[in-house]
Amino acid sequence: MTLSLGASISDFLDYQRDVRRMSHHTVSNYRRDLNHFEEFCRASNCTSPRDIKESVVRSWAGQMQRQGKAPATIQRGLSSVRSYFKHLAARHADISNPAIGIRAPRRPRKLPKTIEADRIGALFQRPAESTLEKRDQAIAELLYSSGLRLAELVDVNLEDLDRREGVITVTGKGDKTRTVPVGVAALKALEAWIACRPIGQEVLSAKAPLFVNQRGTRLGQRSVQDRLKKLAKATHLGQNLHPHMLRHSFATHLLESSGDLRAVQELLGHANISTTQIYTHLDFQHLSKVYDTAHPRARKRKTP
| pLDDT tens per residue, range 240-287 | 899 989 998 888 888 777 777 788 888 888 877 667 767 666 555 554
Q: What is the pLDDT of residue 262?
A: 80
Q: Which of 50, 82, 270, 286 is catalytic?
A: 270
Q: What is the pLDDT of residues 174-231, one digit of tens each?
A: 788 999 999 999 999 999 999 998 875 455 566 789 999 988 899 999 999 999 999 8
What's the average model confidence in pLDDT over 91-117?
82
Q: How confident is the model at residue 9 (pLDDT cuts 50, 70, 90)?
A: very high
Phi/psi of residue 168, each to 5°?
A: -135, 140
24 is catalytic: no
Q: What is the CATH number of the domain that holds 56?
A: 1.10.150
Count of domains for the chain: 2
Whether 41 and 129 map to the same domain: the answer is no
Catalytic residue from among 87, 227, 247, 253? 247
Are residue 275 and residue 163 in the same domain, yes or no?
yes
Q: Is residue 100 domain-resident?
A: no
Cβ neighbours of residue 148 under 8 Å, at least 6 residues apart? 142, 156, 168, 170, 180, 247
Tell me the residue range of the domain where 63 lies.
5-89
Active site residue 300: no
Of 91, 107, 126, 173, which one is the catalytic site residue? 173
Q: Identify whether residues 59 and 162 lie together within a single domain.
A: no
Catalytic residue among 149, 197, 227, 253: 149
Looking at the structure, tell me whether residues 129 and 216 fall in a common domain.
yes
Q: Does 173 participate in catalysis according to the annotation?
A: yes
Q: Are 124 and 140 in contact (CB under 8 A)?
A: yes
> What pLDDT shows up at residue 206?
61
Alpha helices in the chain (DSSP H): 5-14, 24-43, 54-66, 71-89, 117-120, 122-125, 131-146, 150-155, 184-196, 221-234, 243-258, 261-268, 273-276, 278-294
Pair (42, 168) in one structural domain: no
- Residues 195 and 233 both lie in one domain: yes
Strands 177-181 and 161-162 turn out to be: unpaired
pTM, entire model: 0.58
Query: Residue 178 forms beta bridges with which residues?
Result: 170
| pLDDT value at residue 302 | 47
pLDDT 10s digits, 62-101 = 999 889 898 889 999 999 999 999 999 999 999 999 999 8
Radius of gyration (C-alpha) of the chain in whole angstroms: 27
> What per-residue confidence (pLDDT) applies to 273?
67
Q: How confident is the model at residue 295 (pLDDT cuts 50, 70, 90)?
A: very low
pLDDT confidence tier of residue 111, bands split at 50, 70 and 90: low
Kindly tell me if the per-residue pLDDT of 153 is higher than 80.
yes
